[in-house]
């Protein structure tokens, strides 16, 4: 059985008797009460701080307006993420999935969340979020009865508990300020930390290998794997792209640098390697996978750009002669390939190959650092910005925090620097993610309450009868909430199965 399931089972076995004991009321004097199937631990922590900070009413009223604007932006963004993920669902079926650990925001148990950095980030994000709710409540003269933690088998998060009657009697604007405060404060803190991390700390990094090709990934059953070349290797004596004149039939000595020093792969064959082929493509039917492309119509292909430019010149249905070289260096006889129609332009020829250099994908230390500092460094359109934002939020799944530990040796910095920048990154990231997901327009999220208030405000312009308006607002809010929660649940389930 998966270790995570065992741990969760132990949590459940422990939680059930604890929950029923709490229901007896014997622990209420210690602040422990049940709330539905969950357990609340009520405290007075932070209430005085909320009262003191709430005295600056002019500032918090202005911040309330800003908070609503920020929440609307994040609400649009989380809806965009859900729509993009739904569109990608067909590709997810049958593909690699992630284990249940990733669905749990528990540092140390979730492989993506480091124990120490994750705990620090979560505590800061939750405290800031709930403190902001409490301050806005007190600013609008809504009593805050308690603050504390919420449990349901595993810790679910922190809370502040405003007086129900006070919330009910408050104006719609005051309620919207209160609900949006946590989201906006998380975003504000995340923005400040990002500037410190990006412009300040990462901006100070230097490297001796800035524009040198660095191996970022290696495909299986490739010459690079066979030669034992590790990822993060820096290529030495490497020509520019336009100067490449590759001949995989002739072995060479490939020099590269690793964290442990310089190495040489003797007898290495460098060429345009077919790492994979598209299912049902001409390349798949001719067995081109894991071979080098040597010539097209008798012309030797010098590099990836040369091959790409050459293939663009052929039309769908056109026959071409392709000469391949095996990984052992044997030049094969030319084969005739009838090009299919390209998926994006049916008039263009399509062969269906995924290429790299001898199994290696490259970037440069400068480009990796540029993306860590600015996720939109290479965005060319509004669509690119949207997709790059999603990609950056998901960067911890790829080992970035803000840079993978494996590439830190590329840059001139000591361990103290990396500890500091990693801590800042996780506080930034968890504040950002908490804000984004809380903006989801669904019940149980702050965004659901904000959406309800927004619909009420819009409906008020057209429907004057209060009872009828209330029914419309409840119906719209309920439908949107159900759709969002179902869509989110479907995405999570597909990713996990």
- pLDDT digit string (tens) for 195-238? 999 999 999 999 999 899 999 999 888 999 999 999 999 999 87
The matching CATH number, chosen from 3.40.50.300, 3.40.50.11600, 3.20.20.140, 2.30.42.10, for 213-363 is: 2.30.42.10
Distance of CA 161 to the CA centre of its chain: 31
Residue ranges, CATH 2.30.42.10, the chain: 213-363
For residues 389 and 383, the answer to whether their CB atoms sit within 8 Å is no
307, two tokens: 């091959």
> Could you read off the pLDDT tens digit of each residue along the chain, which spans 497 residues?
567 778 778 888 998 999 999 999 989 988 999 888 889 999 998 899 999 999 999 999 999 999 999 999 999 999 998 888 888 777 665 555 566 666 667 777 777 788 899 989 999 999 999 999 999 999 999 999 999 888 887 777 888 889 888 988 999 999 999 999 999 999 999 999 999 999 999 999 999 998 999 999 998 889 999 999 999 999 998 776 566 788 899 999 999 999 999 999 999 999 999 999 988 889 988 888 999 999 999 999 998 889 999 998 899 999 999 999 999 899 998 999 999 988 888 888 899 999 999 999 999 999 999 999 999 988 888 888 888 888 888 888 888 999 999 999 999 999 999 999 999 999 999 999 999 999 999 988 899 999 999 999 999 888 888 888 889 999 999 999 999 999 988 887 777 66
CA distance linking residue 162 with residue 166, whole number of Å? 7
Partnered with residue 95 across adjacent β-strands are none
Burial of 121 by CB count in 10 Å (0-12 exposed, 13-18 middle, 19+ buried)? buried
C-beta neighbour count of 321 within 10 angstroms: 14
Using the CB atoms, write b or e for 75-107: b if 16+ within 10 Å. Answer: bebbbebbeebeeeeeeeeeeeeeeebbeebbb
Residue 496 CA: distances (Å) to CA of 2, 110, 309, 387, 410: 14, 14, 40, 22, 35
Residue 229 CA: distances (Å) to CA of 209, 232, 268, 340: 18, 9, 11, 35
- What is the tens place of the pLDDT at every residue in 249-260? 999 999 999 999
For residues 248 and 269, the answer to whether their CB atoms sit within 8 Å is yes
Contacts for 204 with CB less than 8 Å, ≥ 6 apart:
none
pTM of this structure: 0.85
CA distance linking residue 273 with residue 355, whole number of Å? 5
- DSSP H or E stretch at residue 382: helix 382-393
């Amino acid at each position: 059985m998966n270790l995570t399931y065992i741990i969760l089972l132990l949590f459940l076995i422990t939680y059930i008797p604890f929950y029923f004991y709490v229901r007896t009321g014997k622990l209420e004097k210690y602040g422990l009460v049940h709330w539905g199937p969950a357990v609340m631990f009520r405290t007075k922590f932070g209430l005085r701080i909320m009262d003191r900070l709430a005295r600056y009413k002019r500032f918090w009223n202005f911040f309330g307006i800003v908070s609503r604007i920020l929440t609307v932006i994040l609400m649009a963004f989380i809806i965009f993420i859900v729509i993009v993920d739904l569109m990608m669902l067909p590709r997810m079926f049958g593909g690699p999935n992630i284990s249940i650990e990733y669905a749990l925001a528990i540092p140390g148990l979730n492989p993506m969340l480091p124990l120490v950095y994750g705990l620090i980030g979560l505590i800061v994000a939750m405290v800031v979020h709930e403190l902001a709710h409490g301050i806005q409540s007190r600013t609008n003269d809504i009593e805050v009865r308690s603050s504390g933690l919420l449990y349901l088998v595993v810790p679910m998060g922190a809370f502040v508990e405003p007086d129900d009657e006070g919330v009910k009697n408050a104006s719609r604007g005051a309620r919207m300020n209160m609900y949006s405060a946590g989201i906006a404060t998380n975003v504000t803190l995340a923005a400040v930390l990002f500037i410190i991390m990006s412009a300040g700390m990462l901006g100070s990094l230097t490297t001796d290998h800035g524009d040198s090709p660095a191996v970022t990934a290696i495909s299986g059953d490739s010459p690079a794997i066979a030669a034992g070349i590790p990822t993060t290797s820096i290529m030495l004596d490497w020509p520019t792209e336009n100067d490449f004149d590759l001949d995989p039939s002739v072995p060479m000595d490939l020099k590269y640098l690793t964290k442990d020093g310089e190495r040489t792969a003797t007898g290495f064959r460098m060429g345009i390697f077919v790492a994979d082929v598209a299912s049902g493509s001409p390349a798949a039917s001719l067995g081109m996978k894991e071979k080098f492309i040597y010539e097209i119509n008798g012309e030797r292909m010098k590099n990836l750009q040369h091959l790409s430019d050459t293939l663009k010149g052929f039309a769908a249905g056109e026959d071409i002669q392709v000469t391949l070289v095996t990984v052992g260096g044997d030049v094969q006889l030319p084969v005739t390939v009838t090009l299919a129609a390209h998926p994006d332009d049916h008039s263009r020829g399509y062969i269906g190959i995924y290429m790299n250099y001898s199994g290696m994908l490259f970037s440069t230390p400068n480009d990796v650092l540029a993306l860590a500092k600015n996720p939109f460094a290479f965005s060319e359109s509004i669509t690119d910005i949207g997709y790059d934002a999603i990609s950056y939020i998901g960067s911890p799944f790829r080992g970035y925090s803000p840079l993978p530990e494996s590439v830190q040796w590329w840059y001139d910095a000591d361990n103290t620097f990396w500890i500091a920048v990693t801590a800042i990154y996780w506080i930034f990231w968890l504040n950002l993610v908490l804000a984004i997901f809380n903006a989801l327009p669904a019940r149980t999220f702050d965004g659901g309450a904000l959406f309800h208030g927004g619909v009420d405000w819009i409906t008020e312009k057209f429907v004057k009868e209060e009872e009828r308006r209330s029914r419309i607002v409840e119906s719209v809010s309920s439908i949107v909430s159900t759709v969002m929660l179902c869509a989110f649940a479907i995405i999570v389930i597909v990713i996990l199965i």
